[in-house]
Amino acid sequence: MASIVAALGGSLLRPEIENKHVWLDDLISIIRDRVAMGDRLGLVIGGGAPAREGISLVRPLIDDDYHLDKIGIAATRLNATIIREAVSEAGISVSGIIPSSVNEAVQLLEKKPVVIMGGTIPGHTTDAVAIRFAIAANAKKCIIATNVEKVYDEDPRLNPNAESHEYLTHHELQKIVGPAEHEKAGKSSVVDPIGVAEALNARMELNILDGRVSQRIREAMEGDYFLGTVVSSEGKI
Ligand code: UTP
């Protein structure tokens, strides 16, 4: 039995691909299979489109990021509710509420094999929540399912020659994402630098992958080779 925590970026809920219900069906089947194997799963869902829309609508009126963050958090909780309801409807044993803190999530994971949550408090993103959840639940690793194939040393949209990495140490990832500071509400780097600093301290393995390809989430959860970036204390071994 293992505990695994995954951050699922909110953009995955509204993929540009046409058959988005296939992605959701795949996710449900991955969750079902892991629960059948006796694993415990914590899923932390990002805000995606509703977070971006809500924040950009009021940004001209609200100067303080603390308040904009609260809009982002509400969007993450909306998305977590969407996934929770779908998982519950599929007959999988999942916690009945969306916890609002990592402590609450850890307690729920002791009672139910699946806990689904969004953000907690202003000042970071759901990546940092997932990494804290993974550390507090003593999870084997934390999967960060986002919308890039691997971690690049620079933004590949800006530099087509940017180099991608299959293995990184926490320190190397920290150099790429920068210091542990909260970026503006709704803005994000490949992984939240606040979470990276905590993963480094706790030596928590991170698996960063393109969650739009559900098979990669499955492979990372099963512990097999997956296409993406493994971040560990040792780097490549
Ligand atoms: P996300 O976790 O979705 O951030 O939270 P993101 O990385 O920008 O987006 P995706 O989903 O990976 O594409 C959305 C926003 O909600 C606030 C932050 O402003 C964040 O940018 N937030 C979220 C918090 O303030 N605290 C939390 O615990 C979570």
| CATH assignment of the domain containing 14 | 3.40.1160.10
- The answer to whether residue 237 sits within a structural domain is no
User: In angstroms, what is the span from residue 13 Cα to ligand 1's centroid?
Assistant: 14
- The answer to whether residue 188 sits within a structural domain is yes
Per cent of the chain over pLDDT 90 is 83
Is the minimum distance from the CB of 186 to ligand 1 under 6 angstroms? yes
Mean pLDDT of the chain: 94
In this prediction, residues 133-157 reach a mean pLDDT of: 94
Q: For ligand 1, atom 6, which residue shows the shortest CA distance?
A: 188
Q: CA-CA distances (angstroms) from residue 26 to 17, 92, 186?
A: 14, 14, 27
Distance CA 20, CA 79 (A): 14
Is the minimum distance from the CB of 207 to ligand 1 under 6 angstroms? no
The reported pTM is 0.96
Q: For ligand 1, atom 27, which residue shows the shortest CA distance?
A: 119
Q: CA-CA distances (angstroms) from residue 212 to 5, 66, 148?
A: 17, 30, 9
Domain that holds residue 47: 3-232
Q: How many domains does the chain have?
A: 1
Residue 132: strand, helix, or coil = helix
Is the minimum distance from the CB of 168 to ligand 1 under 6 angstroms? no
Predicted pLDDT of residue 161: 92
- The answer to whether residue 137 sits within a structural domain is yes
More confident residue, 109 or 1: 109
pLDDT band at 182 (very low <50, low <70, confident <90, very high): confident
- The answer to whether residue 182 sits within a structural domain is yes
Element spanning 65, H or E: helix 65-89
- The answer to whether residue 221 sits within a structural domain is yes
Is the minimum distance from the CB of 185 to ligand 1 under 6 angstroms? yes
Is the minimum distance from the CB of 95 to ligand 1 under 6 angstroms? no
pLDDT at 209 over 90: yes
Q: CA-CA distances (angstroms) from residue 166 to 4, 105, 139, 150?
A: 20, 30, 21, 7
In this prediction, residues 212-217 reach a mean pLDDT of: 95
